[in-house]
Amino acid sequence: MTYGYVRVSSKDQHTDRQMDAMAAQGIPAKHIYIDRQSGKDFKRPAYQRLMRRLKEGDRLVIKSIDRLGRNYDEILEQWRQITKEKGVDIFVLDMPLLNTSDEEAGITRVFIADLVLQILAYVAQTEREFIRERQKEGIASAKARGVQFGRPKMQIPENFDEIFERIQSKKITAKDAAQILEVDPKTLRKWINLQKNAGKS
């Protein structure tokens, strides 16, 4: 039996191209499993149903390897489960080198597909590490130039001393003060604590 797996990252993305590719392979709609969510892991309802359905000798068709998932460590594990444990062939339309369903090549074909997948996983992992390193270097460089990250701190207003005295003398509540100053109560509490600590020094 041949099955197709289609995935898009969100509900508003279209599956048309992938579905057309499945139709070109002669896969009936009832044998196509569709997920509309991130490929960060394999906790996807349609994929889980597909895994329960796959049996030895079946064939799984996907448009490209990233439709299977984004985490290459997990892709390698799923690939092993599908091809080795379940005995199912995988056919990747956009990368024939990954196909395990060439009967004439037999075990050599599976070996080549596994090898290519391992290389892809290595390249993806290396690229992730490069990106993280570039991000760290960029942040360090920006900080060295005095660039501030995150939201800028709100400046304590000039009339805060007066408001603080009114809070201390219980002429107004902290809630009233926050409304007068048009700030979040948490911000006001920080200002009050700073003022108190300043008075102790």
Catalytic residues: 9
**Is residue 41 a contact partner of residue 7, using CB atoms and an 8 Å limit?**
no
| Residue 59 neighbours by CB under 8 Å, 6+ apart | 1, 2, 3, 88, 89, 90, 91, 101
**Is residue 152 a contact partner of residue 185, using CB atoms and an 8 Å limit?**
no
Q: At what angle do helices 72-80 and 107-144 cross, to 10 degrees?
A: 170
**Is residue 13 a contact partner of residue 37, using CB atoms and an 8 Å limit?**
no
Cα–Cα dist 16/28, whole Å:
15
**Is residue 90 a contact partner of residue 113, using CB atoms and an 8 Å limit?**
yes
Cα–Cα dist 89/30, whole Å:
19
